[in-house]
Amino acid sequence: MSRILVFIACAGGGAVDTLALDRASGQIEPVSRAEGLGRVSALALDPAGTLYAGANGTPPRTVALALDAATGSATATAESEAPASTCYLALAPGGRELLSASYHEGLMARFPVPGATSERAAGGAAGAARPRATEYRSGPNTHCAVPSPDGRHVYTASLGDDRVSWFPLDEPHDGVVRPAGQLAAMPGSGPRHLRVNAAGDRVYVLHELSGDVDVLVRDPETGGLSLLQRTSAVEGLGLAPGIVRSPSTPDPGLGVVWCADLRLTPDGRVLVATERSTSTLASFTVDADGRLAFAGHTETEAQPRGSAIDPSGQFLLVCGERSDHVTAYRIDPDTGGLEPISRAATAGGPLWIECWDAPDAG
């Protein structure tokens, strides 16, 4: 039987860890580690067998890792200089380009995957070429770049400007793309991550600074969004509103809202958000109209920045940026409850998780 491989970007350890997830029991076990990647902060998975890693440094890079389903190894094969620093990475429709969000540069970029142009092979001579790139004017502190299931639009969240923008992915441009439309969020809420359901008619947005979760109705023709519901992932946690963070701002401590990741099960029945100040998860059940009902808070790894749901929708994986561990939870699809099943150590500073339904090794 095929197995699920879990890849974790560990910025502090400069590595991508591979773990095996047992699809029946939920047990996770370390398999391999790809090292020497620098401050790897985001991953994008091509199910055909390539993992792309966004590594921030001078200059920032994107590295292609070939995946071996039999051994679980991830081997660097090509790299290119990234257009900007990376906090979020996604594969564009067609699989030949990447969509990258840059928090510090305040933009989204679209560029070829490493190896598609004249980038040097990993381990070759210094000076990887910068690929041609398209800039999307997404706004200050851009934190995500999420394509719609139909491949027609990409959605971004500007944490610093409190707005969600959408852009066409299939129209001619001059190298700079401006939003086709924007939806203003509550002032000071800081929209960070969003998820689109499989049907493409609902979009969920997590706000880093307020802890709100918005449910938006999506028009598949225009890409436009409108508010259906707003609820809280942090009610009862005793936190003050958060602040926009940067290297020049003082650390506000753990008394403020500091939400991070948002995940939706493949069947769209359960939504989970992470909160870093309290190291908790907020889970919600989702009704037939896409509306949320709060299911409860669950303690998790210290400073949970990254999470993922396996392709079957049975298990949630959460890594702790300050615990250097990952925990697997069994998801109750009816109640939204999260039951911890297993735990494993990672390299330092885990930030991002991807799951691969690896093909049979033969």
Read out DSSP for 99-150? EEEETTTTEEEEEEPTTSSSPPPTTSSS-PPPPP-EEE---TTEEEEEE-TT
Tell me: the pLDDT tens digits for 180-231?
999 999 999 999 999 999 999 999 999 999 999 999 999 999 999 999 999 9
Out of 53-67, 123-137, 177-191, 207-221, least confident range: 123-137
- How distant, in Å, are the alpha carbons of 155, 165, 210 from that of 185? 14, 11, 11
| Alpha carbons 353 and 57: distance in angstroms, whole number | 20
Contacts of 230 (CB under 8 A, 6+ apart): 186, 212, 213, 214, 215
Phi-psi region of 324 (alpha: psi -120 to 50; beta: other; left: phi over 0): left
pLDDT at 128: 53
The average pLDDT across 78-85 equals: 96
Tally of CA atoms within 13 A in the half-sphere of 138 that contains its CB? 33
| Alpha carbons 20 and 246: distance in angstroms, whole number | 35
| Alpha carbons 21 and 85: distance in angstroms, whole number | 31
The average pLDDT across 309-330 equals: 98
Phi-psi region of 85 (alpha: psi -120 to 50; beta: other; left: phi over 0): beta
Q: Which residue has the higher pLDDT, 17 or 172?
A: 17
pLDDT at 130: 61
Query: pLDDT band at residue 131, thresholds of 50, 70 and 90?
Result: low
Percent of all residues in the chain with a pLDDT value above 90, rounded to a whole number: 90
Bridge partners, 27 (sequence order) = none
Cβ-contact 79, 128 below 8 angstroms:
yes
Contacts of 221 (CB under 8 A, 6+ apart): none
Out of 2-6, 92-96, 319-323, 336-340, least confident range: 2-6
Tell me: the pLDDT tens digits for 223-252?
999 999 999 999 999 999 999 999 889 999
Amino acid at 202: R
* Statement: residue 127 has pLDDT above 90: no
Query: pLDDT band at residue 170, thresholds of 50, 70 and 90?
Result: confident
Query: pLDDT band at residue 360, thresholds of 50, 70 and 90?
Result: confident
Query: pLDDT band at residue 121, thresholds of 50, 70 and 90?
Result: very low
> Where are any strands of DSSP class E within 185-324?
191-196, 202-207, 212-218, 225-232, 259-264, 270-275, 280-286, 292-299, 304-309, 315-320
Query: pLDDT band at residue 132, thresholds of 50, 70 and 90?
Result: confident
| Alpha carbons 360 and 362: distance in angstroms, whole number | 5
The average pLDDT across 154-168 equals: 98
* Statement: residue 171 has pLDDT above 90: no
Contacts of 327 (CB under 8 A, 6+ apart): 300, 301, 317, 318, 340, 341, 342, 343
**pTM for the whole structure:** 0.95
Out of 120-129, 175-184, 302-311, 325-334, least confident range: 120-129
* Statement: residue 120 has pLDDT above 80: no
Percent of all residues in the chain with a pLDDT value above 70, rounded to a whole number: 95
Q: What counts of helices (H) and strands (E) characterise the chain?
A: 0, 29
Query: pLDDT band at residue 117, thresholds of 50, 70 and 90?
Result: low
Query: pLDDT band at residue 2, thresholds of 50, 70 and 90?
Result: low
Out of 60-74, 125-139, 281-295, least confident range: 125-139
Query: pLDDT band at residue 122, thresholds of 50, 70 and 90?
Result: very low
Contacts 24+ apart (CB under 8 A), 340-345: 341/25, 341/26, 341/27, 341/315, 342/25, 342/26, 342/27, 342/28, 343/28, 344/19, 344/28, 344/29, 344/30, 345/30
Count other C-beta atoms under 10 Å from residue 301's C-beta.
24
pLDDT at 362: 47
| Alpha carbons 213 and 348: distance in angstroms, whole number | 29
Spell out the domains of the chain, with CATH numbers in brackets. Answer: 4-357 (2.130.10.10)
Tally of CA atoms within 13 A in the half-sphere of 221 that contains its CB? 0
| Alpha carbons 327 and 6: distance in angstroms, whole number | 12
Determine phi and psi for 227, rounding to 5 degrees: -75, 130
pLDDT at 119: 43
Diameter of the chain measured on Cα atoms: 55
